Chain A
Amino acid sequence: EMRLVESGGAVVQPGGSLRLSCSASGFIFSDYAMHWVRQVPGKGLEWVSLIRWDGSSTFYADAVRGRFIISRDNSKNSLYLQMNSLKHEDTALYYCIKEDYSGYSVDCWGRGTLVTVSS
């Protein structure tokens, strides 16, 4: 069974940094692109970032480009999101998600990890 488990969420002050992790199991992690998406409590989902299967390319939403860095370690079946210069509006539940074979859909979600940016 495919499984994704996020960790690293915390309360952090504006301007601070945080590193989220996502541990994958139940599938060949190195075969698939991975994404981060986020959800503000009570609001809709927002795509944040994507990394290709081999880490060769990364993509970011305009709202986080230049502040967040996505990375992966295929030897550890792990995905990361380094979040710098955090703003109040980055407060959200962050999900790690796996692309399916087509590349245009998602077939596995984690439970999410909560990031709260507050002074």
Chain B
Amino acid sequence: DVVMTQSPLSLPVTLGQPASISCRSTQSLVHTDGNTYLNWFQQRPGQSPRRLIYKVSTRDSGVPDRFSGSGSGTDFTLIISRVEAEDVGVYFCMQGTHWPSYTFGQGTKLEIK
């Protein structure tokens, strides 16, 4: 199985400052169709997870442009350019390339310093 490893697992950030979360996979996430199915989700306290980004860098509708994704192969990053109070929650990556078994990162808890 593909293992997804996130870091850091805890991320205290000052309001207005950037935040960066890393996600690494044990196998390449490049699909035979040429796409890379790496997704990022946000789970605010008490809420269901919400997808922010799919296919490494495509933002979902309604996601603020302060969220961006990048990376390739086995190494990916989620960046929040300027953290706002509403960004508090857990962020996790998920690979869909090696379908049907999705695998997830452990989650990164973002809090405000």
The chain A residues found within 8 Å of chain B, CB to CB, are 35, 37, 43-47, 50, 59, 61, 95, 100, 102-107, 109-112
Contact = CB atoms under 8 A, between A and B. Distances in A.
Q: Which of A44, A45, A102, A104 has the most B CB atoms < 10 Å from its CB?
A: A104
B94 interface: yes
A61 B101 contact: yes
B61 to A, nearest CB: 10
Interface of B: 31, 35, 37, 39, 41, 47-51, 54-55, 60, 92, 94, 96-97, 99-107
A100 B54 contact: yes
B97 A106 contact: no
Contacts, number: 63
Nearest to B50: A109
B54 to A, nearest CB: 5
B35 A104 contact: yes
B11 to A, nearest CB: 16
10 contacts: A35-B100, A43-B106, A44-B106, A45-B92, A102-B96, A105-B37, A105-B51, A105-B94, A106-B41, A106-B51
